[in-house]
Amino acid sequence: MPESRSLILDGRTWAEVSLTALAANFHSVQKHVGPGVTICAVVKADGYGHGAVECARALESEGAQWLGVTDAAEGHALRGAGVKARILLMTGIWKGEEDTIVAQNLTPTIWEPWHIESLERAARKRQSVLPVHLKLDTGMNRLGAPREALPHLCEMLSASRHLHLEGVSTHFASAEVLDAEDARRQMKRFEEGLAVLQNHGLNPPLVHMGNSAAMSARPDTWKTMVRPGIALYGYSLEFTRGGETAAVAALHLRPVLSWKTRVLTVKEVAAGQAVGYMGTFVTKTQSRIAVLPVGYADGYPRLLSNRARVIVGGEYAPVVGRVSMDLTIVDVSHIGGVAVGDEVILIGQGTGKASGKTVDAVELARLCESVPYEILCGLSQRVPRVYL
């Protein structure tokens, strides 16, 4: 084992990222949508907490032609790390970034007239043609061009000599709700937008609507590109129909990230004693508790206080008391032999005696009344990532 990795694994808490699982998920998604659909592998938000550079390099080596990031800053970081794949800036641009975007061959998403004007000037200065993707607002009312603005934008793009409309996109508000009327309405509006583009002589080859949810369950949205994010990192969304959980075609996905720590100390606590801040947990009997060197500063949410469980000593152990900034307490009274330095799984699958036991980001998200995206993205930079 390399010394650097050994030092990390001997430390307080760390996350293990399986690039093998990431590669398998990428190929599973490609098989699902077929060879005729291009994958834009989303690595925004530091690869959903997994590490954007390392994940981007791994995906590129597996054949990913496109990577999706939030903005030019994230794109710049990937280019600085030697990533050569096409990079889509999914949330537009800021004024002053246009020269860097052109110089680094980043592909901006546009929807404002000034986007076109500033990028046209920057591309003209370098005597180049910059590919751009036009985003349509089909009803989410977040980003994108509304229907009434589309004809003018088409005229500007048609007149542009230094911009090439390579793609057109939109984003669903509730693709995981299979009978959602708003999703059908968005699809209809998107088709109407494509017709407006065609009437202006614009026929971009890359047409994309599908995030992980639509990619998983709505083949009629795939068009020529999809933008999977959470699916690449091993999580399937929960789909509903009529308010009930609904099954969709299974994607064979493996969680990419495991989060681990070690027991910092073990204490015997008498019955009737308060544990942690504000005494929100009181022992009912003589208890044995283990203190873990992880807290909300590491991204382990305070909302998990007295709710979550971890895996230690081959068993589940409940979190007791409030999660604090740097420490979390678990009850190991029912688990024999737990000692300082023992490995504890916060997110991941147990092995050996703990085989079959799992705590995943979905479980933690439900306890926090949140989504697995937030749990994964919330892992702080204080938690070192180890790439396997």
Task: Report residue 79 CA to chain centroid gap.
Answer: 20
What's the CA gap between 283 and 101, in Å, rounded? 58
State the catalytic residue, choosing from 31, 44, 95, 223. Answer: 44
SS (H, E, C) 244-267: EEECCCCCCCCCCEEEEEECCEEE
CA–CA dist 293, 279 (Å, integer):
19
From residue 231, alpha-carbon distances to 48, 153, 312 in Å are 11, 33, 28
Catalytic residue among 125, 188, 267, 277: 277
- Backbone dihedral angles phi then psi of residue 252, each to the nearest 5 degrees: -85, 95
Q: Give phi and psi for 153, each to the nearest 5.
A: -65, -40
- Spatial CA neighbour of 310 closest among 255, 382, 379, 259: 259
Cα dihedral 114, 118, 121, 124 sign: negative
Q: State both tokens at 113.
A: 């007239």
CB atoms inside a 10 Å sphere around CB 82: 10
Answer yes or no: 387 catalytic: no
- Note if 277 is an active site residue: yes
Any idea which residues carry the catalytic annotation?
44, 277
